[in-house]
Amino acid sequence: MKDFEYLHPHTIGQARQLLASSKNAEPIAGGIDLLGMMKDYIDEPPDRVVNLKSIPGLNRIRQEKDGLHLGPMVLLVDLEEDKNLQQKYTAVSQAAASVGSVQMRNQGTLGGNLCQRPRCWYFRSPVHHCLKKGGTTCFAMAGENKYNCILGGGPSFIVHPSDLAPALMALNAKVTITGPNNKSRTIPLEEFYILPRVDPHKETVLKPGELVTNVIVPPAPAGSRSIYLKFKEKPSMDFALSAAAVNLTLANGVCKDARVVLGGVAPIPWRAKAAEAALKGKTINEAVAQAAAVASTQGAVPMAQNAYKVPLTQTLVKRAVLASAGIPQPAL
Ligand SMILES: Cc1cc2nc3c(=O)[nH]c(=O)nc-3n(C[C@H](O)[C@H](O)[C@H](O)COP(=O)(O)OP(=O)(O)OC[C@H]3O[C@@H](n4cnc5c(N)ncnc54)[C@H](O)[C@@H]3O)c2cc1C
């Protein structure tokens, strides 16, 4: 691994300063993704690594008037095991429980999960200088693309691997970003991620030196229920081949509001607005769930090896919709 400075700030202000005063610095949280990238020399390893674990208080879960505040250093295991989350924000605890292994959930953090780099065999390969790493070609287009995206692709065809991001987006979460100029801004999580067609070298709106310092999940409205379903190739631990986060608000069985967000099928957590439209105002039943499922993959352009993601995603959406409406579904 390349030599690097390892620094331990005690405040967000110090962390921002340390990040801003180096041309090539990265924050580190649990380190699961960052250290893997550094060991494999992917995408210019940092010269300076700024440890967020040394800042007290970033690992708190707090209930405030405007919702649940989740610090970026909250461990995934804490999201998985928090009773309030399990009951009121079920998709978030289910998504956390679905990440990697128990060891990873005890090490990995919310901020790291949301900001982790994309998945693509070529991007993660030390020997391929792909488009995302400053090259000229997205090798997935004509190469191995079984795991790549079916929605929102081009010019690069990565997938965003986070399990937490679709679940939090389905719950309308916001993120607070704090920058080197000491200014904070809070934006919908949906606006945090950017498509490769906007900038193929970035995945989020974070600028150099900026940190995610809070995640806010608004209060769950009465009658709402959220579900996260993930399908992985290896049942033991794996990234999502596809995942569906569905959050329905029902009144007398009628859907007043719906959010459907897909994971593992696009370069960003993918909001399936056509599926939401197919649910709103309807009494949820098998046929309505099926129509929403079909609508969820509207615009999909599968590659040579990943057309299986279309029916897989539709099945997950259908099951998640029915489960959100309280209609029991058999285990996957
Ligand atoms: C074998 C394996 C399996 C995995 N399986 C899954 C899975 O099933 N689902 C899933 O979602 N993920 C999976 N992951 C990916 C990921 O490593 C974990 O989800 C974990 O949550 C990352 O958190 P971390 O705290 O270790 O992040 P780190 O590695 O510390 O950071 C990840 C990235 O985020 C940046 N960062 C961290 N915190 C902040 C912050 N507050 N503000 C701005 N930037 C920040 C870092 O600079 C880095 O670029 C897997 C990883 C591996 C290696």
- Mind listing the pLDDT tens digit for each residue in 129-171? 999 999 999 999 999 999 999 999 999 999 999 999 999 999 9
pLDDT tens track for 253-272: 899 999 999 999 999 999 99
- pLDDT exceeds cutoff 80 at 330: no
Pocket test for ligand 1, best of 51, 104, 237, 268 (most atoms within 8 A of CB): 104
Of all protein residues, the one whose alpha carbon is nearest to atom 4 of ligand 1 is 100
For the full predicted model, state whether its pTM sits above 0.75. yes
- The reported pLDDT for the residue numbered 253 is 86
What does the mean pLDDT of the chain come to? 96
- pLDDT exceeds cutoff 90 at 116: yes
- The reported pLDDT for the residue numbered 259 is 98
pLDDT over 90 percentage in the chain: 95
CA pair distance 4, 31, nearest whole angstrom: 14
Q: Which atom of ligand 1 is nearest to the CA of 109?
A: 25
- The reported pLDDT for the residue numbered 182 is 78
Residues with Cβ within 8 Å of 270's Cβ and at least 6 positions away in sequence, in order, are 151, 152, 166, 261, 262, 263
Q: Which residues surround ligand 1 with Cβ inside 6 Å?
A: 26-34, 36, 52, 72, 76, 99-100, 104, 107-109, 111-113, 115-117, 161-163, 206, 211-212, 239
Q: Which atom of ligand 1 is nearest to the CA of 26?
A: 47
Q: Which atom of ligand 1 is nearest to the CA of 177?
A: 42
pLDDT tens track for 194-228: 999 999 999 999 999 999 999 999 999 999 999 99
Ligand 1 centroid, distance to 101 Cα (angstroms): 13
DSSP, residue by residue, 171-232: TT-EEEEE-TTS-EEEEEGGGTB--TTT-TT-SBSPPTT-EEEEEEEPPPPTTEEEEEEEE-
Ligand 1 centroid, distance to 314 Cα (angstroms): 27
- Residue 43 pLDDT grade (very low, low, confident, very high; cuts 50, 70, 90): confident
Residues with Cβ within 8 Å of 59's Cβ and at least 6 positions away in sequence, in order, are 71, 73, 74, 75, 78, 109
- Residue 248 pLDDT grade (very low, low, confident, very high; cuts 50, 70, 90): very high
- Residue 181 pLDDT grade (very low, low, confident, very high; cuts 50, 70, 90): confident
- The reported pLDDT for the residue numbered 331 is 75
Of all protein residues, the one whose alpha carbon is nearest to atom 18 of ligand 1 is 113
Pocket test for ligand 1, best of 12, 33, 43, 78 (most atoms within 8 A of CB): 33
- Residue 278 pLDDT grade (very low, low, confident, very high; cuts 50, 70, 90): very high
- The reported pLDDT for the residue numbered 117 is 98
Ligand 1 centroid, distance to 281 Cα (angstroms): 38
pLDDT tens track for 279-300: 999 999 999 999 999 999 999 9
Q: How far is CA 17 from CA 23, 44, 48, 192, in A?
A: 12, 21, 12, 22
- pLDDT exceeds cutoff 90 at 329: no
pLDDT tens track for 297-325: 999 999 999 999 999 999 999 999 999 99
- The reported pLDDT for the residue numbered 71 is 98
Q: Which atom of ligand 1 is nearest to the CA of 33?
A: 29
Of all protein residues, the one whose alpha carbon is nearest to atom 1 of ligand 1 is 100
Q: Give yes or no for a cis peptide into 155 (omega within 30° of 0).
A: yes
CA pair distance 29, 88, nearest whole angstrom: 27
List, in order of start, the domains of the chain with CATH numbers.
Answer: 1-327 (3.30.465.10)
